């Protein structure tokens, strides 16, 4: 991969970033076109990414700032998106907590010492110093220097519930049996663990911001398994705590999947932008959420369809947004492997063209 390094003076760079379509949309300000970026935009669907991965493991890639910056910058330039997102993983933060993390080939993440009750919570370490994750901050610094001066960089973390679920289950899960059992049977231990996670996440996000991220996103990929009552009791206070302690003035994107029944509660938990998946209409979700920006919500599997369908589906979502300030176009979840790169590029081009036409006609 190669990237052109572009630099500008500090003040002009800051002004260019703040005035970018992505940052303006986060603040619900008018934009010349709808900004678009895509979750997992640097990933296995790109040949160039697979070439890097052939030389290194996933965890080594995350922990090598030069490589993490390389794949981040390359993907943003290849797709011509309106924001980059740093290449990392939501589980990196759990290692400083004292958890043994492995990315097993063909199995995904495995935590060899999961938490199943109060006695396990007691062995978790308070992450008062997030310096152990300096490789993430160095990747952000290198990426910020390499990106065009007006292209924002997004930092991120897993939301407290999704991280807690990994920690308790020991890896991916379909039914979250261990997680829900702990919530229901040992609520004191659950809330103690969630509080510890939340404190670590706020510090982690703020360190990413200090390193050069213009916005941050919380990924609550698994929270859709909960009922509204369970979300309010076991999750909402902790997610709110993370968001409230993020550096003032930094836009926060609050994203989850399977959350059609939880949108009002997610709004209550906080965030400048609420991410939507494809299981809910954008216009209906935005009406329920009220005065907040929204992000979404193209079905990532639709990227396997024809370019004509991709364009029509993009237009449907833009029509639902109605040109209202505060819409950031994205997928309803990340790009999956084997997605045709040319279709991803076609989606970005369609969003830019169709939304610019929509703005000019109003």
Q: Which positions are catalytic?
A: 40, 44, 53, 89, 166
Q: How many residues does the chain have?
A: 362
Both tokens of residue 10? Answer: 């500090």
8 Å CB contact between 243 and 264: no
Q: Tokens 């990747």, residue?
A: 139
Both tokens of residue 106? Answer: 């063909």
Q: Tokens 């998946």, residue?
A: 277
211 by Cβ neighbours in 10 Å (0-12 / 13-18 / 19+) ranks as buried
For residues 83 and 63, what is the distance between their CA atoms, to the nearest angstrom?
22
Rounded (10°) CA dihedral 186, 181, 238, 225: -170
Q: Tell me the pairing of strands 153-158 and 215-220.
A: parallel
Best CA proximity match to 84, nearest among 16, 10, 148: 148
8 Å CB contact between 163 and 124: no
Residue 285: HSE in the Cβ half-sphere, 13 Å Cα cutoff: 30
Handedness of CA 258, 121, 238, 103 (dihedral sign): negative
Q: 3-class SS at 7?
A: coil
């Amino acid at each position: 991969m190669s990237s052109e390094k572009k630099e500008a003076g500090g003040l002009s760079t800051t002004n260019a970033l703040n005035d970018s379509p992505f940052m303006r949309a986060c603040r619900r300000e008018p934009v010349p076109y709808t900004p678009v970026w895509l979750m997992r935009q640097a990933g296995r669907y790109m040949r160039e990414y697979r070439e890097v991965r052939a030389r290194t493991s996933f965890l080594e890639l995350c922990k090598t700032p030069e490589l993490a910056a390389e794949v981040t910058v390359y993907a943003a330039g290849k797709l011509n998106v309106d924001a980059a997102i740093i290449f990392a993983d939501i589980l990196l933060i759990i290692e400083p907590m004292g958890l043994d993390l492995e990315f097993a080939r063909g199995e995904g993440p495995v935590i060899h010492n999961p938490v199943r009750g109060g006695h396990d919570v007691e062995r978790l370490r308070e992450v008062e110093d997030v310096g152990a994750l300096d490789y993430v901050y160095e990747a952000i610094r290198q990426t910020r220097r390499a990106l065009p001066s007006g292209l924002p960089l997004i930092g991120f973390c897993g939301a407290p519930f999704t991280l807690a679920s990994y920690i308790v289950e020991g890896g991916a899960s379909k039914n979250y049996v261990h997680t829900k059992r702990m919530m229901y049977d040992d609520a004191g231990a659950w809330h103690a663990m969630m509080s510890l996670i939340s404190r670590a996440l706020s510090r982690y996000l703020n360190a990413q911001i200090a390193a050069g991220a213009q916005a941050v996103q919380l990924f609550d990929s698994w929270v859709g398994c909960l009922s509204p009552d369970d979300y309010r009791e076991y999750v909402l206070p902790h997610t709110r705590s993370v968001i409230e302690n993020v550096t003032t003035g930094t836009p926060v994107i609050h994203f989850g999947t399977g959350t059609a029944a939880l949108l009002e509660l997610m709004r209550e938990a906080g965030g400048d932008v609420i991410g939507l998946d494809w299981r809910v209409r954008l216009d209906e979700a935005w009406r329920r959420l009220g005065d907040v920006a929204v992000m979404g919500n193209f079905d990532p599997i639709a990227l396997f369809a024809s370019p004509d369908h991709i364009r029509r589906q993009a237009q449907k979502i833009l029509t639902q947004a109605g040109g209202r300030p505060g819409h950031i176009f994205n997928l309803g979840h990340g790009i999956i492997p084997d997605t045709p790169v040319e279709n991803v590029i076609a989606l970005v081009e369609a969003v830019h063209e169709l939304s610019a036409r929509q703005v000019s006609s109003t």
